[in-house]
Each structure stands twice: as structure tokens, then as C-alpha cells.
């Protein structure tokens, strides 16, 4: 459904590109008093996708929230994408979402039908995920915002943090990059309709099936690739794990149409923030500026980045491709070297 007022025109930045830079957040939260609770297995200090709180030996609570301004003009699709993106953090921990709360901000001029379509998109994805929307909170504001707070469960013995990659692991990325560039160029009407349909389908796709494959394998570490881009999230995995990630850029899947558009300067501001944050940990070698731009490009509802033993990787990838056909090996994990990330 297209509406009278273009949703993306109501927002100053799109989707996960609106995310505040990682470095900014870390320094703002320094020095606050917090309780120590041994049952909080994963908290803020870990820079992970969601927090994990142990309830008993085999059950832990997984909690996360994610919301952003419109990334597309169709309200139903926007709702679907925002929900898929919020649910993804639970999948990235190896968990299953059970409850969700709507987080909604509406400008006065948004029509009732538009709001209804937006919410229908959210409910549609939460239903597909097997979870329930149990409530929420709505306010008026200058720009539309939609997302979810999600609660799920995981067996704490099988939870997947972003800080447990081991030397010798293979790296798999499950969705192609370029979403930030393409959604930015779409504002200039430079993205053909079939390409838009392809990226819309990708952003609305749950990472559920990927999670279901992942938990059948001995995956060591996982994170979802969203606002900080592949290199921002890879840096968190490398630092958290105390290892170096080597990424073979020729093998990194991306939407081919994003290449020339990145070269033409259709990069979201978030791509530059991600570069500023992560660049000091990246040895870029002879990798072209355009390729680097795509590696720093903020993704909305992106894929998962997995680290798992090399000998399991081929089987896992074959199974993953049923759900995520463009999943690919993109590199490996080594002992910590001079840089956290090496691009080849």
C-alpha cells in the first residue's frame, strides 16, 4: 500500500542507518552504578545482540529491543521489516522469541489506515516467528518510529554469543550486503523496481530458519549484521573473542547494483560512522574503496555472521542455503594478530 504522504520522507535517516555509532554509546554509559547479578550471563558490557538472564539450568531469558524510522514507503512492509529486524537479535543468540511489545511513535499527520497497515506488518512477522505481541506503547512525535521489544528463551548451555569465535573457525554470512546503499539510492529513484522487490523481500525475511540450522551445528559464535555494518559487527566479534577475523572480500555476498551506486556517492551517513568506529582495527590492504564502503554499509534486518569449526562449515552452509540461498563462506578466524580484522 502506498500512502499520500511518503513514509520515508517523514524520516531524516532510514532504518538501521539511524543507529547511534558504537563508540558514542560506549563512552556515554561509562561510570554508572549497576548491580552485579551472576545470573546475567550476557549484559551491556559484552556489546552483544541481546541480553541473556539465566532462570534455571536449562532456561535463560533473552531480551532485546530495536526500532527505527521508515526504510520503505509501504507501511505494511515497514512493519514487517522492523519486526523481522527486532526478532533477529533473539535468533542471533540461538534463542526463540516468545513475546513482543510494540514500540510506536506517530506524527499527527499519519493516517489511521497507514498506522493499521504498519502494525499489521509487525503482527504478521511476529506470528510467523511463533511469538505473541502482548502489548506496547505509542506516542506522538515528529518522525514515525516502529519496532519491538522482544523476549525469548534459550538453553544457556547452547546460547550463541558474539564473543566466542575460535582460531580455526570458518565464517559464514547469510544475507548479501548493500542494503544501506540501495535504500539511500532509492530516495533518488535510482533503484529499479525488481531490485527494490528483492531487497524488500530480504529485509522482511526472518532469520528463524537460519537459527534453526545453526543450532543443529556446533556453531561457536554468532551475531546479526545490522547498523554497524559487516566490519563493525565483525570488530565486536573479533575483540570479544580475542581473535583476528580474516575476510576474503571476493567471497562476501552483496547486491551487485550497490557497487556503482556506492561509487556514485549514495552512501548513508551510517557507513561513514561505521568506518570511523571500526577502521582503526581493520587492515584493508589493497581492497578497493568501493568494496570497503559495502563492508561498512549499515544493514537493516541483515543476515547472521557465524563462526564454526571448518569441518562442520560445508554441511552447515549446504543446509543454510535452503533458507538463505546467498549464504557464503567469507573467511576464517585466526589467533590474534596485529589487527582485529584483515581484509584480503
Partner 1 sequence: MNIIDARGLSCPEPVILLRRAMASGEASYQILVDNHASRENTTRYAQHQGYQVSVTEAGGVYTLTFTK
Contact 304, 222 (CB under 8 A): yes
Nearer to partner 1, 267 or 306 (CB): 267
Name which of 127 and 272 has its Cβ closer to partner 1. 272
The candidate with the shortest Cα–Cα distance to 224, out of 275, 160, 274, 282, is 160
Q: Which of 78, 266, 277, 340 binds partner 1 (CB under 8 A)?
A: 266
SS3 131: coil
Q: Which residue has the cell 530516495?
A: 187
Residue 258 touches partner 1, criterion: CB under 8 A: no
Give the interface segment with partner 1, choosing from 75-83, 185-193, 210-218, 227-235 (CB under 8 A). 185-193
Quote the least distance from Cβ 252 to partner 1, whole Å: 20
Distance between start and end Cα atoms, the chain: 43
What one-character-per-residue DSSP string does 96-122 give?
EEEEEEEEEEE-TT--HHHHHHHHHHH
Nearest residue (CB) to partner 1, 260 versus 335: 260
The only residue of 272, 314, 322, 335 in contact with partner 1, by rule CB under 8 A: 272
121 contributes a contact to partner 1 by CB under 8 A: no
Residue 265 near partner 1 by CB under 8 A: yes
Residue 268 binding partner 1, by CB under 8 A: yes
Stretch that binds partner 1, among 37-45, 80-88, 119-127, 183-191 (CB under 8 A): 183-191
Q: Whole-angstrom Cα distance, residue 149 to residue 342? A: 35
* Only segment of 27-35, 81-89, 265-273, 313-321 that touches partner 1 (CB under 8 A): 265-273
Q: Tell me the pairing of strands 243-247 and 341-343.
A: parallel
Decide whether 12 or 138 has the Cβ nearer to partner 1.
12
Phi, then psi, of 265 in degrees rounded to 5: 95, 20
Nearest-angstrom CA–CA distance, 12 and 33: 34
- Segment interacting with partner 1, rule: CB under 8 A, options 37-45, 99-107, 213-221, 266-274: 266-274
Is residue 287 a contact point for partner 1 (CB under 8 A)? no
Q: Which of 46, 98, 166, 187 binds partner 1 (CB under 8 A)?
A: 187
CB of 293 to partner 1, least distance (A): 9
DSSP state of 286: T
Nearer to partner 1, 63 or 184 (CB): 184
DSSP 32-74: ------TTEEE-GGGT-SSEEEEEETTEEEEEEEEEES-SSS-
Nearer to partner 1 (CB atom), residue 246 or residue 273:
273
Active site residues: 16
User: In Å, how far from its chain's centre is CA 13?
Assistant: 17
313 close to 170: Cβ distance less than 8 angstroms: yes
Q: Does 47 bind partner 1 (CB under 8 A)?
A: no
Question: At residue 33, what are phi and psi to the nearest 5 degrees?
Answer: -75, 130
Chain residues that interact with partner 1, rule: CB under 8 A: 12-13, 184-185, 187-188, 262-269, 271-272
Amino acid at each position: 500500500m502506498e500512502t499520500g504522504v511518503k513514509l520515508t520522507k517523514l524520516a531524516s535517516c532510514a532504518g538501521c542507518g539511524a543507529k547511534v555509532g558504537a563508540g558514542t554509546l560506549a563512552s556515554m554509559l561509562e561510570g554508572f552504578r549497576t548491580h552485579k547479578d551472576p545470573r546475567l550471563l550476557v549484559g551491556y558490557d559484552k556489546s552483544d545482540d541481546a541480553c541473556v538472564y539465566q532462570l534455571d539450568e536449562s532456561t535463560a531469558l533473552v531480551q532485546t529491543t530495536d526500532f527505527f524510522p521508515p526504510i520503505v514507503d509501504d507501511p505494511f512492509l515497514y512493519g514487517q521489516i522492523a519486526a523481522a529486524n527486532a526478532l533477529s537479535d533473539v535468533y542471533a543468540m540461538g534463542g526463540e522469541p516468545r513475546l513482543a511489545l510494540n514500540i510506536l511513535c506517530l506524527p499527527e499527520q499519519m493516517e489511521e489506515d497507514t498506522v493499521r497497515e504498519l502494525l499489521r506488518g509487525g503482527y504478521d512477522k511476529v506470528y510467523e516467528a511463533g511469538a505473541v505481541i502482548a502489548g506496547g506503547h505509542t506516542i506522538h512525535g515528529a518522525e514515525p518510529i516502529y519496532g519491538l521489544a522482544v523476549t525469548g528463551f534459550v538453553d544457556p548451555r547452547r546460547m550463541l554469543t558474539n564473543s566466542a569465535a575460535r582460531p580455526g573457525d570458518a565464517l559464514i554470512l547469510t544475507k548479501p550486503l548493500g542494503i544501506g546503499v540501495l535504500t539511500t539510492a532509492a530516495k533518488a529513484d535510482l533503484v529499479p523496481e525488481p531490485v527494490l522487490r528483492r531487497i524488500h523481500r530480504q529485509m522482511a525475511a526472518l532469520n528463524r530458519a537460519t537459527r534453526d540450522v545453526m543450532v543443529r551445528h556446533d556453531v561457536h559464535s554468532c551475531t546479526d549484521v545490522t547498523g554497524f555494518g559487516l566490519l563493525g559487527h565483525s570488530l565486536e566479534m573479533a575483540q570479544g573473542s580475542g581473535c583476528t577475523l580474516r575476510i576474503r572480500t571476493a567471497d562476501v555476498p552483496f547486491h551487485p547494483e550497490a557497487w556503482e551506486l556506492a561509487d556514485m556517492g549514495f552512501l548513508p551517513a551510517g557507513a561513514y560512522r561505521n568506518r570511523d568506529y571500526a577502521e582503526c582495527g581493520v587492515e584493508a590492504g589493497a581492497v578497493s574503496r568501493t568494496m570497503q564502503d559495502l563492508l561498512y554499509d549499515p544493514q537493516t534486518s541483515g543476515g547472521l555472521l557465524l563462526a564454526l569449526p571448518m569441518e562442520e562449515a560445508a554441511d552447515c552452509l549446504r543446509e543454510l542455503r535452503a533458507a538463505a540461498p546467498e549464504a557464503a563462506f567469507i573467511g576464517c578466524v585466526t589467533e590474534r594478530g596485529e589487527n582485529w580484522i584483515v581484509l584480503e
